[in-house]
Amino acid sequence: MSPARAALRCAGWPARAAPSDLRKALVSSFFPSDSSTGPDRPRPWKSSSRRRLARVAAALRAAGCVFAEDEARLLITQAGSPGELERFVRLRVGGLPLEHVLGWAEFCGVRVAVGPGVFVPRRRTEPLAREAARLAGGCPVGSVPVVVDLCCGTGAIAAALAAAVDRPLELYAADIDPVAVDCARRNLASVGGRVYQGDLFTALPESLRGTVNILIANVPYVPTEAIALLPAEAREYEPRVALDGGGDGLDVMRLVAAGAPRWLAPGGHLLVEVGESQAELAQQLMADHGLTSRLVEDEDGDVAALVATRPVRAG
Ligand SMILES: C[S@@+](CC[C@H](N)C(=O)[O-])C[C@H]1O[C@@H](n2cnc3c(N)ncnc32)[C@H](O)[C@@H]1O
């Protein structure tokens, strides 16, 4: 297997819908005309749920959606009318990620808004978020942990952390992409998160230097040549800046590792997502900048994330 494919495999990119040239025909063959709401069928439109579910699932399955029934249920629940359901199915059959059709994703049990063109939070990032929550919860009693979600996308990690940690947090997030920043602002407003736009650390208030207890950075880490191998959903509907990590996938992580020691409080932690094939190099990167590191595994025992810690005393 090529290094690019190996990196992709460990990055856990799921295959979801396969766009099809036949999508128009596909949708209309499964949605002839909405007979269940016609004059002779005056029941509320969702009442014919079994047949409707079967029709929607069949359309999704034919377009290559692996979890067609689950997706069909979600689309039916979300749609406010038969017309809207048909539009949702058309978009999904055309390859738009499910979360972009729905406008939300579930992450660590939290529902986060996902705007068009924003990176969809992945299940494989949940171990990182849980570890960040554990570390934030363990900060000294009486302190208010300072948490930064750098490269925040929707802000899903910060939102999950705020929901999981049962103590006040000072929450910041930042992203280079203004569309992601808008989305993160929506997701973090209710938990008092402040969201900034800009290139990595330059986006953050200077006053945070040396004070950050938990610095999360789920940076883009797909090697450039592996972008072409991503599912069309990612390639076509997620911005390149959210995916492309440069030649070996670690360009942005290198910059984060270099900057982190100046922003972390003594004893503070940097958490990044890594794939199995990048873990060793990522640990070396952290060591090059005086950070000690350990790997975090998911429930299957696969490498999911890396925690790098600024020593309490430099030495
Ligand atoms: C892999 S996505 C992760 C998004 C989110 N943290 C999550 O886990 O769902 C990477 C994010 O990094 C952002 N990004 C890429 N380069 C950046 C940079 N130089 N400075 C800040 N954000 C950056 C992208 O816009 C994208 O939202």
How far is residue 295's CA from residue 293's CA, in Å, rounded to a whole number?
A: 7
* Domain coordinates in residue numbering, the chain: 17-96, 117-309
Q: Where are the alpha helices (DSSP H) in 63-117?
A: 68-78, 82-93, 98-102
The whole-number pLDDT of residue 313 equals 78
The whole-number pLDDT of residue 186 equals 98
How far is residue 269's CA from residue 212's CA, in Å, rounded to a whole number?
A: 8
Q: How far is the CA of 153 from the centre of ligand 1 (A)?
A: 5
Q: Within a 13 Å sphere around the CA of 141, how many CA atoms are in the beta-carbon half?
A: 0
- The contacts of residue 216 (CB under 8 Å, 6+ apart) are 128, 129, 132, 147, 148, 149, 150, 157, 158, 161, 270, 271, 272
Q: How far is the CA of 177 from the centre of ligand 1 (A)?
A: 8
Specify the residue with its C-alpha closest to ligand 1, atom 16: 241
Per-residue pLDDT of the chain (315 residues; tens, 9 = 90+): 343 443 443 333 333 433 344 445 555 555 554 444 444 444 566 656 889 999 999 999 999 999 999 999 999 999 999 999 999 999 999 999 999 999 999 999 999 999 999 999 999 999 999 999 999 999 999 999 999 999 999 999 999 999 999 999 999 999 999 999 999 999 999 999 999 999 999 999 999 999 999 999 999 999 999 999 999 999 999 999 999 999 999 999 999 999 999 999 999 999 999 988 999 999 999 999 999 999 999 999 999 999 999 999 765
Q: How far is the CA of 61 from the centre of ligand 1 (A)?
A: 31
Closest by CA position to 147, among listed 171, 115, 168, 175? 171
How far is residue 108's CA from residue 100's CA, in Å, rounded to a whole number?
A: 18
Closest by CA position to 218, among listed 263, 171, 176, 157? 157
Closest by CA position to 131, among listed 314, 313, 297? 297
SS3 205: coil
- pTM for this entry: 0.88
How far is residue 289's CA from residue 234's CA, in Å, rounded to a whole number?
A: 32
Specify the residue with its C-alpha closest to ligand 1, atom 1: 220
Specify the residue with its C-alpha closest to ligand 1, atom 27: 153
b or e along 59-81 (b: 16 or more beta carbons within 10 Å of the residue's beta carbon)? bbebbbbeebeebbebbbeebee
The whole-number pLDDT of residue 15 equals 36
How far is residue 218's CA from residue 77's CA, in Å, rounded to a whole number?
A: 31
Specify the residue with its C-alpha closest to ligand 1, atom 14: 151
- Cα dihedral: 251, 267, 136, 259 (round 10): -20
**Ligand 1 — pocket residues by CB below 6 A?**
119, 121, 125, 151-154, 156-157, 175-177, 180, 199-200, 218-220, 241-242, 252
How far is residue 89's CA from residue 258's CA, in Å, rounded to a whole number?
A: 45
β-bridge mates for residue 175, sequence order:
197
Between the alpha carbon of residue 120 and those of residues 70, 95, 147, the distances in Å are 18, 14, 21
The whole-number pLDDT of residue 44 equals 62
Give the helix/strand (H/E) hosting 237. Answer: helix 232-237
Closest by CA position to 234, among listed 11, 4, 38, 44? 11
- Classify domain 117-309 at the CATH superfamily level: Vaccinia Virus protein VP39 (3.40.50.150)
Specify the residue with its C-alpha closest to ligand 1, atom 24: 242
